[in-house]
Structure 1
């Protein structure tokens, strides 16, 4: 089973934007996280999503971040390096009249070299072919991008095991099709 929806349109599955459709550009390497995986993830996050400040790093379609806004996140910073994909994301946010979403068209690594602001929840789902999990995770951890007990969602190619900071404690995990996904809870380094 493929864990990602084909380009075209994908559906927001919960919250105030439930059943809204996102237009998805048909571009190589763009793989929106499947509805089933998003539903599982947001069931895990249900007690903590309201009021959260989120970072959708390597946002792609922004399905994860828009789902977070739909379910009560106060803000989502979307970071997407492809200008066409970033514009499609802006168009979707505008069409859905969302509040709290901001899109930045920049490479994730360059974005993380900027002035850090701590986030409560980070979605880390870079293109599988680029193997960016470890450097992005290290930068998130070391440069002040994470709140003391932040949640971090990591989606990676099934069978791969990205090296992540030792104080990111696994909370829940699963696999579907070609992808493995896991939710981590950050412990302050002294507690790890």
Structure 2
């Protein structure tokens, strides 16, 4: 808990707490299922559309709104829900990597854990792995993506040890203090 408190305190320009006290991207609300009239009502109330994305692979249109000046995330979430009762309104919460180790698994354990067939592609949504690990590509979904992380390295190492030879990595953390947010993860899933 102290780690999260410290993160929020040190990155007040990018991160704030939501109504439940969880860390989220500062001043950003995520909306799905909004119609034109409710979008217009939100804009009239001072909310600005930051981005409109069609995530066809997921069958979703996602709109991110910035809050009116002086509006807290909690206030904005409540107000936008009132303006868009038919839509799903949420904050852009942050999700964190857990644990992390760069230790590799022994060859014996690797053979025992092998489960994949040649040519199977495994998508990994995490941080970027160390360059010593073999991955097909790393696609960034956060600022500063592509920098190796302990957790991303550990997960890629486990996949390699299990016999996965084709790994594609979606780096949703990068070096961004607000990395690991809902929109980064959603974009990675659509990729």
TM-score (norm 2): 0.28
Choose between structure 1 and 2 for higher RCO, CA contacts under 8 A separated by at least 6 residues. Answer: 2
Larger radius of gyration: 2
